[in-house]
Amino acid sequence: MIGDATIPALPRGVRLREDQARGGFTLMAPERVLKLDPIANEVLKRIDGTATVAMIVDDLARTFAADRAQIDRDVKSMLQGLADKRLLDLTGND
């Protein structure tokens, strides 16, 4: 389960890339090209293998002056979805 102290990291073979031909950003993974909506892109941009989930949520809430509790729920469910598809590594879980 994802907690505030969880540190998400993109594993080798999963990376963000701008899609010049179609616009926007994508997450590239084994046999997958996931088109990212602007929110998902903002979340993934903040994953650097050291930032915790709490730090990422704080930063998003500050940058977009949005409800922190709402962002917290959305980010955790999005990260869990990616981890279930083996597109994200999670460390620092309790």
Partner 1 sequence: MTDGTAIDPPLGLLAELTHRCPLSCPYCSNPENLDRRSGELDTETWKRVFAEAAALGVMQVHLSGGEPTARADIVEITAHCRDVGLYTNLITSGINVAGAKLDALADAGLDHVQISFQGDISDHADHVSGMQGSHARKLELAAQVTGLGLPLTVNAVIHRGNADRVREMVQFAVDLGARRIEIAHVQYYGWALRNRDALMPTAEQVRTSTAAVDQARADFAGQIVIDAVVPDYYARRPKPCVGGWGRRSLNVTPAGKVLPCHAAETIPHLTFPNVRDRSLSDIWHHSEAFNAYRGTDWMAEPCRSCDRRDVDFGGCRCQALAMTGDAGATDPACQLSPFHARMIELAETAVAEVEASPMDTRYDYRRFL
CB 27 within 8 A of CB 41: no
Q: Exactly one of 31, 38, 65, 94 binds partner 1 (CB under 8 A); which one?
A: 31
Sequence letter at residue 75? V
Structure-token match 């602007």, residue found: 38
Which one, 12 or 37, has the nearer CB to partner 1? 12
Taking CB under 8 A as the rule, does residue 23 contact partner 1?
A: no
Q: Cα separation of 67 and 90, whole Å? A: 25
CB of 18 to partner 1, least distance (A): 9
Q: Exactly one of 3, 5, 11, 70 binds partner 1 (CB under 8 A); which one?
A: 11
Taking CB under 8 A as the rule, does residue 12 contact partner 1?
A: yes
Which backbone phi and psi does 76 adopt, to 5 degrees? Answer: -65, -40
Which tokens is 72 given?
């917290």
Q: Exactly one of 29, 43, 82, 88 binds partner 1 (CB under 8 A); which one?
A: 29
Taking CB under 8 A as the rule, does residue 69 contact partner 1?
A: no
Interaction residues for partner 1, span 73-92 (CB under 8 A): 83-86
H helix or E strand, kind and range, residue 34: strand 32-36
